[in-house]
Every structure is written in C-alpha cells, then in structure tokens.
Structure 1
C-alpha cells in the first residue's frame, strides 16, 4: 500500500509539472513497480516464522471486547507475550508501524495521562505553520534548526521518548520525504536522525501520519487567528504594521495512534500523538493553506499503564484490558495503580464496603495486583498456589458500613437486663386475669357492685394494652415494632383512663344535683361514651400510621457505636399533648368530687391514680426529649425508663383500684356463708367506711345521698333491692334522731325548761305514733311507696 501511494504521489507531481512527457512517465512507473516487488521479496525472506504468527494475531486476532465476556481467556497475558516476542525479534522486523495492538489498547491511555506532552507537539505545529508562511528562505532551509528543535523537545521532558517533524511528499526542498526525528537510546542518550531514511511513512499503515493528513484535508475544520505584526525598522522606529492571519491547530485536532512497534525508529512499542501543520501559497492577493506535514511525540508503551479494572458503569471507552483484573469480586474491588507501566498487575484489590483486610497489622490495607496475577498464573498452570485460599477480605460485624477489624459497630443490647425487665412485666400482666376472675367471683359484694364490675374489667383490658409496649420494645427497633408500640399505648390509655375519667364524671354529675330527684347514669351510658373516646383515638392512630409512618433512625451513641430507635416527630408530640389535656380534664373532675360522699373511698383512689399518671407522663415526655435529641441514647436505658413509667402509672393505678377492694372482701367476708358476705359488707364498719352525718333531720337526706343506690354504679342492682337498702338506712337515721330527742328532753328537764319539755314529748309521741290509713303520710317515701319507721325497738336504748 505504501508503494502504491508513492506511485500515486509521483504521478500527480509529474502530471502537474510536465504532463506531456510520456517517456518519463513510463520510466517512473517501471521503477516503482520494481521497487515494490523487491520490497515484498525482501520482507518475505527476512521475517521469522514466529514473527509471522505475531502478525496474524496482532492485526486480526484481538478485538476491543472486554475480558468479562470470556472468563477463561487471559487477554493481558496474550498481549504481553506478543509484545515480548516482537521485542526479541526486533532485528528481523520490517521498517514501519504495521504491527499494532488493535483498537482495544488505545487513546484513553494517552488522553488521560499525556495531554501535557501532546500540547508540546501542538505548539510546535503552530510555530511551523507560521514559519512556512513568512520566514526567510535561509531559515526554512536550515535543517540544523529542525534537528535541534526536536532534540530540545526530548531533552525537556523525560516522559517523551521521541519527537518528530515529518514532511509530506516533496514538501521540503527536493527531498522525497524528510522527517527530523529525535529519540532516546538504551543507554539514555538522545539520537537525532532523518526518520524517512529508515522507512516510507506515506502509506496508510503509518497511522500516525495518514490520519493527520486525512484530517488536514478539511481546512474548514480548523481555526484562524488574526493579529498584527510590527517589525523593527531602525533603532527608533517600527516598520509598517501588517495583518497576520494564520491557520492554527488545537489538541483536539491531533490524533493518538494505536500502540505499535516502531521498527526503524525507536525499535520499541510506543504510542504517537500527531497534529498537522500547514504550508502556504501566495497568489498575489492572499495566502492559501495546504497540508505540509505533522508534528508529533512518541510515548514509550512502558510509560503507559494497563488498566485491568472494570470500566465504570455507563462508560463508552474502548479498553480491551478492562475487567481482566483477578480480584475476588465478592469481597474486593479493583483500583488502578498509576505509574507501573505496560505490565500486568498495575492495580490493587481493596476491600469493598462491609469487609475488612484480614491482616489488620499491615500498613497497606490491600492485595497487590502483581501478587494476585502471579498466583493466578500458577493456578492456571496447575502449580502449587494460594490464589484460591487467599486474597479475600473478611466481613465486618453486622451493621458496619466500613470497618478495619471485627469490632462491633452497633451498640450491643443488654439482653439480660431487658429479659429481667420483661419477665417482671409479664409477671405483673399475669395478675390481670386473676383480677378479672376476682370481679366475677365477688360481683355480688357491695364494694364491687358500687364500683361497677363491668367498668373494672374494661379498665383491666386497657391496662393489658398499656403493658404490651414493653413486650414489643424488647426486640430491636423496626417499623413494625414502632407502629405496634404507639398503637398499644394509645389504645390502652384511651380504654383504661377513659373509663376512670368517665366514672369520675358520673360521680361529679350526681354530686352536683341539688334536688331530691333520683339521678341514674348506667354503665351502658358510660360505655357508649367510652366507645366514642376510643373511636377518636383509633382515627388518630390510623391517620398517623398512613400519613406519618414511623421510621427507625440511626445515630451515634456516646461511645461511637450505632444506636437505633423509633423516630419521634410532631405526631408523637401531638399525641402526648392530647393525653395531657385529657388528664387535665380528669384533674378538674377530681377536684369537683373531692368532697363527694363515698362509702368505699373509690373516687379518692381514682383521683390519686389520675394525679399520678399526669405528673409521671409529663416527666416522661420531657425526659424523652433529652434522651432522643440530638442522637439516640442507650436503648436499654430508654427501655428501662418506659418500664419504670409503666409500673409507676398502670401498676399503681391497679393497686389503688383493686387493693382496697380485695382488702375489704378478705377482711369482712365469711367465705363459708355467701349470704352473710353480702349482709356484713352491706353494713360494713360504720365508723370507718361510712360517712357519719350530723344530728338533726338533715341527716336523713345526707344518709340517702350517701347510699350507693342514689348514684347507682351497677345495672345489676334492681329497684327492690335498692329500696330495701334505703329502708334500712332510713330506719337507722330515725333511730339516731329518736336518741337525740330523748337526750335533749332529759337535759331540759334538769335545767327546768318544762315548756320545751312538753314540746319534745309531743315530738317523740308523734314519731312513735302510727299513721292512720286516711291520713297524709308523714314518714319518708321512695318512688311513691311510704316507708314505715318503727321506733319501738329503740325505746330501751334511749332511756338514761
């Protein structure tokens, strides 16, 4: 191909000079044909068989397909074997650059590392273009100047192996080709010569020259710079200013060649960057630019790093070596090591995130690519190696993104403490079924009837839900446990404390009635109101779960370890505020009923429970702000705080409500006679568990108000039983009144007030007198039924 191009150039040139000289045309054609045949014969005789094998492989055998498509193919070894084979037989090579490593080992190496050196060639090309436009003939004919120039470029940068300034056909003097070329020798010296003597670079096999000439054929793709020049006229004046317009090239106008073996030049594998420069012709009006030659630098392939690491995702680079690294992909990743040259193993295998280097005391925390490649080569040859057992990183402790050893990254929970805490909670929860059984077994006892057994069971159900967050919080925080935790808390709070507050509200309503009319608020009425409260809480929880689903947040504990907990946001703050407002309403009710008569002091115990819950909830909400912000504290500490809060609120509330009732039942009940149980507990201990009224007629009304039937807590107490209880209470009140009258009568007899004595006697007689059938009843009545008061039994007790 080189020879046919030469013939073509010769014919064009002759045609332009003397198209009519046919004789000379035939002579030149014959000469060039003979020269081409001689070249072919000479090449066939000189090339060794091993070299012929290399030609077939290097030109057609390699593609740009990464190694990842063929796991069993060692593409790096194949390339390096051919490079070494060619260097061993370089004395038998054919001058030129036809032996290259294909498109796979290409521009990205030069583009990424040697742009600074390439800009030297760009500057020289622009200088030559300007010189060939207007420089004097003696400057242009100075071959020494051109030789010195390329020598200076090689001397000025150790990264540059060679530099050249190659001219096109018959573009310098009357030389067929001319190319001042400087390169480094094996002993470190710099040799300067005319490269065109060694081989003809006009053919398209010389990619570095052919590509630059093809680019230069499109002059419209280049830039033009316009300036002015003022030459020196004499010691004091400048010459006339002239316009300087010249074509210029940039880095992007150049071309990085494929890595090739430079036979006849430096006799090494190299990469070449070339950029065109231009000559001019002047037609009397303006200058016309044309391709004149190339300015280039050569980079020794040993200066080029082989990048065996996989290409980044989305990369469009062509790299035949990509993915050929032998790092263990499961635990390590490949990182290129620059500056190691064109050899295998120019990388290191570093541990991936979540793994650590097994040799923790080593200074370098990676596996050297050279060692990995050597052991892999032994593995391929079947020799003894440790490739399969080594070069693996070890997994970090659970939860560690990165680590240097097996040290934990997550705060370890104190499972012993948490288990003991949960055990105590479960033990207390086991008492709830026993309390429910207690309300069923003694449901007919007055102390339980007055407290409404149905509502007591509802309170126990709410308490069970309030204990459940301790069970859920025992495990590691997750979205599910976070959701269950606040559902159990809010549902339990609404049931338990909703029932307590409604019981208090019923007492306050009855206590504030000033008439003798009977007020009845049944348990069914309270349950309906309680269901409304629960519905409001459920609606809020549903909205929270859908719109503000809690998450698990991660933070650093004071010791640097990770700690996890459920997120806390404005949803949690709003629920805490709602609970406190609900409890404040309960405090107001407790203040209202603080003086209400209570036979068994239940309203007082309920008030204590509400005060306790309010204060402790306020303390807990404030403490949680400091425990959770800005970073999570120890989860074990938070779990313990929740446990203590639950025991001091829920457990104490149950102790207030059921402790006193259990004490009365077991103290004043004869377990052998169930009928006697009701009788004894109905009367009770009058001095301790019944409000003692003051003397006078007002005590009758006080006794009636004090009776449990006046604000009936249970629907199970029928009207007949209630009336029976009221009759007994009224009989008791009249006995006390009769006794007081007798005492007053005897006292007045001693002081001589006989007038008052007659009135008291009349009142006593009136009280003892039985009413006639047609007379208006003077004794109390209940629901239209007259209550007959018999004081005959108290006659003896009033005698002094």
Structure 2
C-alpha cells in the first residue's frame, strides 16, 4: 500500500515543480521543461490513484473461491508502462518543437498585451497542448468510472471514497481552469495574475489530493493506537488484581453450592461489582480464545502481512484416468463373480431358490382286483 502512496507523493512533488518554473521569466528551455513536469507528475500521481481503484474493483468483482490478489509489485509494473507511454509522447513533442525551432525559426514564445496595454512574453500554446489536456480529462473520467463501478466495495480507512473525491476534484477544477484560460486568460491576463491562478489551481488539486489520501490514514492509525493502548492498560489493570471483595467468602461462611445456607447470593451483591467482574472474565476469555485460535493454525499466517501457502494443484486429466481405471477394475470383478454361478440351481441368490431333495416318505399303492 505504501509503495503506491510514495508514487503519489513523488508525482505531487513534480507537479509542484511546475509552479516553481512559472515563477521565472519564460524562455524556450522553460517552455519545454514545464510540460514534462506536468505530464510526468500527472501520470505518477493520478495514474497511481487509478491503479488503486482498479485493484479495489478487481478484488471486489472476483467470483472465484480463491481471491485474485493484485500485489503492489504488479501495480508498479502497470504504472511503469504508463510512464513509458507518456515519456514517449513527450519525447515526440520535444523533438518536433526542436526541429521546428532549428529549421523554420519557430519560436515557443509569444508577445501578449493586457487590457491596460502592458506587453509581456509567454509560452505559445499549440495543438499538442490541447490534445494533452483533453487526454488528461479523459483519463480522469476513466478513474471516476472505476470509482463508481466499485462503489459497493468495502475498503480499509474508507480509501475508495477518498480516492474518488481526489480524482473528481482534479477533473472538475482542471476542466474549469482550461476553459477559462483558453477563452479569457490566454490573451488578456497579466502574467502575475496568471501565476496566482496556477498556484491556486495547484493548491486546490495537488494539495487537496495529498490531504485526502494521507490525513485519513494518519487519523485512523492514531485512533487505533490509542484504542489499543487503552484496552491493553485496562486488561492489565483488571487481570492483575484478584477477585472483588464481594466474591470472597466471609468469616464463617463457606462458598459452596446454592443449596447450602450461608453462601453469598447474587441478590446481596453490588450490581456494579458483578458487572466489573464479568467484564474482567470476558476480556480474559477473549484473549485466551484468540491465543487458542492462532496456536499452530495452518490457515493463519504467522508473519504479519504474509501470504498463505499456495494450495495443491491437481490435474483433471489424471483424475479422469484414475476414475476410468477404477471403473474398469470394478467391471472385471463383477464379471468374474458372475461367471461362478451361471445356473439357478448353483446360485443361492436365485429366485427359484437352492435345489434340495425332499423326502416324501414311502409311496402307497392300492391293490387292483383281478378282472376276469
């Protein structure tokens, strides 16, 4: 998490560099350097924010049993690809301008005049600038789309909400700033007023982004540390002392079963003492339960922030072969057993039953009369 936050911080520092460059008198070199600082800082800062929103969306939409985890290392690779693309674009822009300056005596500076008649030099706006600024707005709109798509995701420190506010603020203020500059400031605004406008714009975007992203984490972390310290002190205080006086057997009284006379009944005890004693017992039971759960549990990583051991993988093809082998073996066994009893007389499970010999006893005959 902090690796991507560091990229956001580095990008913000580069964006602040554009204000420092504008504090000097414009020249060809400064007119070439300022767009580099703007675009590289923009892609580092807001590209990292968009990638964080992308990770939140992917983890939220994963429907597999095994969650797809996007590591900071993967996000850095994506961010490096974005920086390379912007670097190539700015390199092409720089080479084109240098070629025009050398061959066609093209000047990146222009002379403007205010309404009071004051002349001043400023960097000339070209079509490359319009394309670049339009691309910035489109990238920010894509980031807003990602934040809207992951609106139901639950994140730590409510990070998704602050990321959405940051990127929406940049998109809104930059769009208004570009429109006002093209229609009004570009031709008639004094350079000092233009510098103040750019400074205010940088504070409303870059500074607000840093506050929205870093302040909540610092505040939540501080609250958790304070809560943990209070709970730990209370646990040590409650577990370090013995049972309350109300629970100790009195003189001449034996605390046994409730059937025995002389045992302390709950009705005679102070409700506050009972509540404190039960609370102390609940805390001790909770600590014991957590220790028991974590003791030699293979499902819980022992190192902080560690990943679980990869599950064993099996091949469906091998599983089918084993199933086919077992089924063929089972069929052979059934055929062999069936060949042992082919006739109903030899099978004890035949419907006709086993063949037996029944003794009917001696046969009786009726004498026949002689017929003549």
> How many residues are treated as equivalent by the alignment?
235
Tell me the CA shift for residue 638 of structure 1. Answer: 0.9
* 2:200 paired with 1:641: no
Q: 2:47 aligns with which of 474, 478, 498?
A: 498
Matches within 5 A, 1:557-636: 557-629=114-186, 631-636=187-192
Deviations 1:430-476 (A, max 9, x none): xxxxxxxxxxxxxxxxxxxxxx0111111100000010011000011
Give per-residue Cα distances to partners, 1:3-52, cap 9 Å, x unaligned. Answer: xxxxxxxxxxxxxxxxxxxxxxxxxxxxxxxxxxxxxxxxxxxxxxxxxx
- Residue 580 of structure 1 contacts residue 614 of structure 1 at CA under 8 Å; is this kept in 2? yes
Whether the 8 Å CA contact 1:544–1:571 is kept in 2: the answer is yes
Question: How many Å apart are 1:521 and its aligned residue?
Answer: 0.8
* Cα pair 1:627 1:633 within 8 Å, conserved: yes
Q: 2:59 matched to 1:510? A: yes
Say whether residues 1:463 and 2:19 are aligned partners. no
Aligned match of 1:652 in 208, 213, 236?
Answer: 208
Contact 2:157 2:220 in 1 (8 A): no
Equivalent position to 2:307, from 711, 716, 719: 719
> Contact 1:564/1:632 (CA < 8 Å) preserved in 2?
no
Instruction: State the alpha-carbon separation in 1 of the partners of residues 37 and 4 from structure 2.
Output: 19
| Cα distance, 1:512 vs structure 2 | 1.0
Instruction: State the Cα distance separating 1:600 from its structure 2 match.
Output: 1.6
Contact residue 458 and residue 495 of structure 1 kept, 8 A: yes
8 Å contact kept, 1:554–1:632: no
Residue 661 in 1 paired to residue 209 in 2? no
Other-structure match for 2:360: none
* Per-residue CA distance 1:554-573 (angstroms, 9 max, x = gap): 02221112111111110100
Matched, 1:485 2:42: no
* Equivalent of residue 540 in structure 1, options 85, 89, 114: 89
User: Secondary structure of the residue that 1:553 maps to in structure 2?
Assistant: strand
Q: CA–CA distance in 1 between the matches of 2:221 and 2:75?
A: 26
Distance (whole Å) between structure 1 residues aligned to residue 145 and residue 177 of structure 2:
22
Q: RMSD in angstroms over aligned alpha carbons? A: 2.7
Name the SS for the 1:668 alignment partner.
helix
User: Which blocks of at least 5 consecutive residues in structure 1 are unaligned?
Assistant: 1-451, 677-708, 710-714, 724-781, 785-800
Aligned counterparts of 1:592 and 1:567: Cα–Cα separation in 2: 40
Task: From the CA coordinates, give the structure whose radius of gyration is larger.
Answer: 1
SS at match of 2:225: coil
Structure 1 residues 632-688: Cα deviation after superposition (integer angstroms, max 9, x where no partner): 520111111111111111111111111111111222315997xx7xxxxxxxxxxxx
C-alpha contact 1:478 1:552 (8 A) present in aligned 2: yes
Contact 1:563 1:632 survives alignment (8 Å): no
Gaps of 5+ in 2: 99-106, 233-298, 313-372
Q: Which structure is richer in relative contact order (CA contacts within 8 A, separation 6 or more)?
A: 2
Cα distance in 2 for residues equivalent to 1:623 and 1:664: 39
Superposition pairs for residues 122-201 of structure 1, below 5 Å? none
Cα offsets for 1:523-551 (capped at 9, x unmatched): 11110010111111111111111213571
Which one of 527, 537, 546 corresponds to residue 76 of structure 2? 527
Contact conserved, 2:185 with 2:194, CA < 8 A, in 1? Answer: no
Residue 542 to residue 667, structure 1, CA distance change in 2 (3 Å) = same
CA-to-partner distance for each residue in 1:675-705, whole Å, 9 max, x for gaps?
Answer: x7xxxxxxxxxxxxxxxxxxxxxxxxxxxxx
8 Å contact from structure 1 (residues 563, 633) kept in 2: no
1:711-790 alignment runs, 5 A limit = 717-719=305-307
Using the size of structure 2 for normalisation, the TM-score is: 0.59
* Structure whose residues are more often strand by fraction: 1
Aligned-pair CA distance for 1:627: 3.4
